[in-house]
Amino acid sequence: MINNEKEGRLFNKLRLLMKRLRGHNGCPWDREQTHISLKPYLIEEAYEVIEAIDKGDDEHLKEELGDLLFQILFYIQIAEEENSFNMSEVLKDSFDKMKRRHDHVFGKKKARNAREALAMWNAIKKKER
């Protein structure tokens, strides 16, 4: 959760960095990337996160989560350039989905344990399809 101005500024700085890398005077390699060309890097970063978790290496996990976040920002930047969707839409859709799927927290139904919570989540997810 961005719970202070510093985190918000850092997040915005990272977004601006990505925008600059993709900009006219930015990085030629970054400017050439597409959603398709970035797929191997997204998978690689996800595996590196898992590896850090498996090793119990919090410092490495922190680094790899940053790399994974940067990949996500890369995808969003490309989408914004293509006028497909933007950061606000991604954040709103994610918020709405997570709130909707946690009916046992935000709705009238309650889960007594993790198993019930997962069953409720899966039932909501199935209805969405």
DSSP 50-99: HHHHHHT-HHHHHHHHHHHHHHHHHHHHHHHHTTS--HHHHHHHHHHHHH
To the nearest whole number, what is the mean pLDDT of the chain?
95
pTM, entire model: 0.88
* Largest Cα–Cα separation, the chain: 55
What is the chain's length?
129
How far apart, in whole angstroms, are the C-alpha atoms of residue 95 and residue 99? Answer: 6
Q: What integer pLDDT is reported at residue 4 of this predicted model?
A: 84
Q: What integer pLDDT is reported at residue 1 of this predicted model?
A: 55
pLDDT digits (tens, 9 = 90+) for 37-87: 999 999 999 999 999 999 999 999 999 999 999 999 999 999 999 999 999
Tell me the mean pLDDT in the region 16-29: 97
Tell me the mean pLDDT in the region 2-8: 81
pLDDT band for position 2 (50/70/90)?
A: low
Q: What integer pLDDT is reported at residue 42 of this predicted model?
A: 97
Tell me the mean pLDDT in the region 103-114: 93
